[in-house]
């Protein structure tokens, strides 16, 4: 597996956070990267839910009105 290509980037961070991270030996680049990965996942999820809200509402309305399509086959 290839290592990800890294791009030098300038960011502005709260000075107290940077000081605390350095005192604790936290790698700022890796911590920022992990936070960005998590934020990207949250935003993609939010957008997917927003883009599919009508379909989800329609499916939920169907189930409320008719029940689960294969409910008679459930064993629990």
Mean pLDDT of the chain: 94
C-alpha dist (Å) from residue 58 to 28, 37, 61, 65: 45, 31, 5, 11
Report the predicted TM-score, pTM, of the whole model to 2 decimal places. Answer: 0.75
Q: In whole angstroms, what is the distance from residue 70 CA to residue 76 CA?
A: 12
Average pLDDT over residues 64-76: 88
Q: How far is C-alpha 33 from the chain's CA centre? A: 13
Q: Return the residue matching tokens 């290509």.
A: 5
pLDDT, tens only, 29-55: 999 999 999 999 999 999 999 999 999
């Amino acid at each position: 597996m290839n290592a990800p290509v890294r791009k030098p980037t300038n960011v502005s961070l709260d000075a107290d956070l940077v000081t605390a991270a350095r005192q604790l030996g936290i790698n700022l680049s890796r911590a920022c990267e992990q936070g960005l990965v998590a934020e990207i996942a949250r935003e993609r999820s939010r957008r997917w839910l927003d883009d599919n809200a009508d379909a989800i509402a329609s499916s939920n309305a169907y189930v409320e009105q008719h029940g689960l399509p294969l409910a008679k086959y459930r064993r629990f």
